[in-house]
Structure 1
Amino acid sequence: MLTLVPTDLWAYTRSDGHSVAGIPIDFLLFAMTLIGVALFHNRVLHVALSGLTVILLYNFLVTGFKHGSGMGGLVAHFGHEWVILTNLFCLLVGFALLADQFERSHVPQLIPKVLSRGWVGNFVLLILVFILSGFLDNIAAAIIGGTVAMSIFNKRVHIGYVAAIVAASNAGGSGSVVGDTTTTMMWIAGVNPLDVLHAYIAAVVALVVFGIPASVQQAKHAEIVSADSATLHVDKARLAIVFIILVSAIVTNVTVNLRFNHLADHFPFIGVAVWVALIATSFWRAPDWKLIPGTAAGSLFLLALVTCASLMPVEKLPLASWESALVLGFVSAIFDNIPLTALAIKQGGYDWGMLAYTVGFGGSMIWFGSSAGVAISNIVHEAKSVGAWLKNGWHVVLGYVVGFAVLLAVYGWQPTPIGNSASTAAPTASHSGTR
């Protein structure tokens, strides 16, 4: 649920700076930062902040920023980005506290009663995450799935299954205009909600392809552990608090986008709504506020990478085609999908359902490729390793490719012009939803 880039993002023509073998130094610095994150996964925040500092200095001293040069350009850049960053920070930390409320409601411990043993029950949990993400924020869906998994597997969750939970949350929102940032952007820009619905063809196929191997991995790693239900009592107050927070986020998301879209650039409505609900309900049942420092550190890591991505000179995309849509999914694993989608909308000529699948699901291939992945890694710390994620979550990459191939074979490449609707805003206007 992020507020997106403004309509004049690329209004300023910055200096080309320098390049190596035709590659702008900005991208090389960003690539070095990502390599550092992959190699030093125990120091990811330090690496990300160091990389951001170097990129900011390079923009400040050499190329200038998208909105101007020098201090004025820097201030203008963050003047446009602060809503995105604030929303993301509020959601990541806020939903971590929501997860604490959900866990202390004792509902996760009771879920084994309705799940089958073995890989089938594990797969059912992924299906539930997939469904939840169709109408909830994908961070919330991933955190709920991760919280349940940590409970029912007695905190022994396989990295491959963690990757699958993230993938299920991202895939589940790909065909719904309220399930993901990218689809919400398209909706507000004038894309008919039915024109993204066919993303579910690929998403469902991908869920089967990555979900079954991940469920088998988890079954071999740790079985579902049933708690003594006779000693457990659902804390209905905490469960109600979870419901209130989620409803607050959903209602604010829809209301701002449909009624007050012109104000969405100027205030982090979604993040504030979550925190208003958290604080208001804390007098009923307080969350564990001690979780904030640790979660905030993990959240700052993603904010640093998002800021780095916002500084890259990405002014145009290749011509719209199914090949470019496929590649954008892989790019989305390391590059923020918000500006990518904004550019695609501005360019036009895309099959919006195919694009929604690729940029929405693509971030699942690496743990920091989506906010859902960063959020769940704050719960399962072992997930903060690119090598472990790729090695154990290989099925997510396979699922992405197979899902795309089936969508292309069954539905084909059907680009749709952006229509004129009452809710249409400028292509790169602000929206809610999370990557």
Structure 2
Amino acid sequence: AMTIVELIDSHNGFDIITQRIRTTSKAKLLVFVTFLTFCLSALLDNLTTAIVMTSLCAKILTEREDKLWFAGMVIIAANAGGAWSPLGDVTTTMLWIGGQITALNIIKQLLLPSIAVCILPAIIIARRFKKSRIASIPVSTCTPEEKKDGRIILVAGIGFLVFVPVFKTVTHLPPFMGMLLALGMMWVITTVLHKGKEQGLLEKYTVAHALQRVDTPSILFFLGILLAVAALNSIGMLTQLAGVLNSTLKNDYLIGSTLGLLSAIVDNVPLVAASQGMYDMTTYPTDHPFWEFLALTTGTGGSAIIIGSAAGVAVMGIEQIDFMWYLKKISLLALLGFISGIIIFLAQHAIVG
């Protein structure tokens, strides 16, 4: 995903979006970025969306502090947008494939709570930029031919990223195989697109060059976190933890909320996997409120800590966000959004059922 984003960036594909932004108000821009991130995350996965939107913000903003605040909001919006879509977040996808939820019902039940997760943090951060303005939107210096190539690569790149979750759902193959297929197709397109051009000009547009620009330390950091969590899962600690919660709390919504907060520390995938194994489908049948609530909390709870979600880890690497900065500035906002989502879910369930 990072390579495809780098490929779009090298072709100035994001200029097509930035040139359409007319506002110079940072507050309005934040609302636009939040909305776009939320919507894209439902189509793509939240990790890919976070990478795309962080790269887009970096093109528009110049001040370091602004980039950090926008990146924090991108993480919250990406995780919230992924929670209500069967294709947006890996935990929702797991519950969908496992038969615990159905696609239309999860969209209906979690759309409003997911929006609520974004609204409060977005309002608070937007107020910070109330009187602040962007100096100027970067002007594109591309030739008409370069703009045409950038448009083709942008559409193809986003299209193939959307294709990956569909590929996974249809073939039941691991997502990385779909992503490698998408990258291979992008390689073919760029080769055909730049056929006949001078070798010196061609180099910066190649997939090989894009691979060199990918932040490898961030990928290794992400891998280290996943390996550490997998180690806990392999010795059965996460399953035991789920058992303790079940015997101690004895309330579906308390268990779901706790698992959501734990997903900020421990990867949400093994937590949901353990829950799927613990709670019988006869007790909690398909589309039971518990499964819907679990999808909401484990999908959005990871925003509370920057390493609590794949989107957070990716953005941390791209923008070099300090762990303590995020904890001081964004974590409380993410928790407020998390609580707002829970309140809306419970209210909606009490009123509508």
Alignment partner, residue 204 of structure 1: 115
Alignment partner, residue 305 of structure 1: 225
In structure 2, relative to structure 1, the CA distance for the partners of 1:229 and 1:301 (3 Å cut) is: closer
Alignment partner, residue 253 of structure 2: 322
Query: What's the RMSD between the two structures over aligned residues?
Result: 2.9
- How many residues align? The count is 317
Q: Does the CA contact (< 8 Å) of 2:24 and 2:136 recur in 1? A: no
Q: Take 2:83 and 2:214, find their aligned partners in 1: how far apart are those partners?
A: 30
Matches within 5 A, 1:32-43: none
In structure 2, relative to structure 1, the CA distance for the partners of 1:231 and 1:280 (3 Å cut) is: closer
- More helix by percentage: 2
Q: Does the CA contact (< 8 Å) of 2:91 and 2:295 recur in 1? A: yes
Alignment partner, residue 289 of structure 1: 209
In structure 2, relative to structure 1, the CA distance for the partners of 1:118 and 1:106 (3 Å cut) is: closer
Q: Take 1:414 and 1:331, find their aligned partners in 2: how far apart are those partners?
A: 29
Alignment partner for residue 97 of structure 2, among 182, 188, 193?
A: 188
Q: Take 2:278 and 2:329, find their aligned partners in 1: how far apart are those partners?
A: 37
Matches within 5 A, 1:240-319: 240-258=152-170, 260-261=171-172, 264=173, 268-283=176-191, 284=193, 285-286=205-206, 289=209, 292=212, 295-312=215-232, 313-316=237-240, 317=242, 318-319=245-246
Identity %: 23
In structure 2, relative to structure 1, the CA distance for the partners of 1:142 and 1:346 (3 Å cut) is: same
Alignment partner, residue 275 of structure 2: 344
Alignment partner, residue 397 of structure 1: 335
Q: Take 2:226 and 2:180, find their aligned partners in 1: how far apart are those partners?
A: 20
Matches within 5 A, 1:128-207: 128-154=36-62, 156=64, 157-190=66-99, 191-197=101-107, 198-207=109-118
Q: Does the CA contact (< 8 Å) of 1:136 and 1:250 recur in 2? A: yes
Render the CA deviation track for 1:334-353: whole Å, top value 9, x for unaligned: 21111111122222336222
Flag structure 2 segments of 5+ consecutive residues without an equivalent. Answer: 194-204
Q: Take 1:299 and 1:160, find their aligned partners in 2: how far apart are those partners?
A: 22
Alignment partner, residue 408 of structure 1: 346
Q: Does the CA contact (< 8 Å) of 2:3 and 2:211 recur in 1? A: no
In structure 2, relative to structure 1, the CA distance for the partners of 1:230 and 1:100 (3 Å cut) is: closer
1:322 CA drift (Å): 0.5
Alignment partner for residue 386 of structure 1, among 316, 320, 323?
A: 323
1:369 equivalenced with 2:308 (yes/no): yes
TM-score between the two structures when normalised by the length of structure 2: 0.80
Q: Take 1:413 and 1:310, find their aligned partners in 2: how far apart are those partners?
A: 40
In structure 2, relative to structure 1, the CA distance for the partners of 1:109 and 1:324 (3 Å cut) is: same
SS of alignment partner, residue 411 of structure 1: helix
Question: Which residue identity is paired with 2:225?
Answer: L
Q: Take 1:208 and 1:224, find their aligned partners in 2: how far apart are those partners?
A: 26
Flag structure 1 segments of 5+ consecutive residues without an equivalent. Answer: 1-90, 416-435
1:141 CA drift (Å): 1.5
In structure 2, relative to structure 1, the CA distance for the partners of 1:274 and 1:218 (3 Å cut) is: farther
Q: Does the CA contact (< 8 Å) of 1:160 and 1:217 recur in 2? A: no
Alignment partner, residue 55 of structure 1: none
In structure 2, relative to structure 1, the CA distance for the partners of 1:135 and 1:154 (3 Å cut) is: same
Q: Take 1:104 and 1:273, find their aligned partners in 2: how far apart are those partners?
A: 21
Q: Take 2:166 and 2:230, find their aligned partners in 1: how far apart are those partners?
A: 25
Question: Which residue identity is paired with 1:217?
Answer: R
TM-score between the two structures when normalised by the length of structure 1: 0.66
